[in-house]
Amino acid sequence: AAAGLPTTSLDLRNTDTGEPLDLSMAQEEGRDTPGVKKFFQTGVDPYLEDKSCLKKGEIIYLESCSGCHGHVGEGKIGPGLNDDYWTYPKNETDQGLFETIFGGARAQMGPHYDLTLDEILKVMAWVRHLYKDDVKHAPWLTDAQKKSFRPFKVGEKFPEDAPGMCAADRT
């Protein structure tokens, strides 16, 4: 494996072509954070609904995604990301969503080698937080998360000192 990349048993594939993803394209930075290690072991994004990660995820989303997908994921030139319909059903899983963001899909949905692996996990957490439809159709949430999930509301604030996995690297 390339320097700093945690080992993974996940079979990560391009969403459009099905070809294996080239993880060596990932930024050197942010490769072996606790979150990336955990995701590479489990295929589950440990940052989902972690309030210490959501603000950073929002910033990345607004910089890199909202121009095409809309400010709250409502869709623009790219499809809506805050609802329960997916062009690629695999995006209902964290692994699938990671594959689509890292490797891209079709047309203007290019790969995101500009983001670190850790940033991709954070932006995924934000995309999941924007979800506005029935939690019954949100298989990416655990049963406990389904119970406590409150959809994003414009103006929602997160405490600066929220405990969680991203507390150490909050800027």
Residues that bind Ca ion (CB under 5 A): 79-80, 83, 85
Between residues 46 and 79, which has the closer beta carbon with respect to Ca ion?
Answer: 79
150 interacts with, out of Ca ion, ligand HEM, none, CB within 5 to 8 A per kind: none
Give the sign of the dihedral formed by CA 142, CA 145, CA 146, CA 149.
Answer: negative
Binding mask 28-67 toward ligand HEM (x if CB under 6 A, else -) reads: ------------------------------------xx-x
Instruction: Find all residues with CB under 8 Å of 171, minimum gap 6, and list them.
Output: 56
Inter-axis angle of helices 117-129 and 51-64, nearest 10: 100
DSSP state of 165: T
Question: With respect to ligand HEM, which residue has the nearer C-beta, 106 or 156?
Answer: 106
Pattern 81-110, binding to ligand HEM, x per CB under 6 A? Answer: x----xxx--x-----x--xx---xxxxx-
Q: What, of Ca ion, ligand HEM, none, does residue 162 touch, CB below 5 to 8 Å by kind?
A: none
CA-to-CA distance for 169 and 30, rounded, in angstroms?
11
CA dihedral 106, 63, 42, 44 (to 10 degrees): -90
Partner from ligand HEM, Ca ion, none contacting 69, C-beta within 5 to 8 A by type: ligand HEM
Nearer to ligand HEM, 124 or 165 (CB): 124
Q: Within 13 Å, how many C-alpha atoms sit on residue 156's CB side?
A: 14
Q: Which of ligand HEM, Ca ion, none lies near 123, with the C-beta cut-off 5 to 8 A by kind?
A: ligand HEM
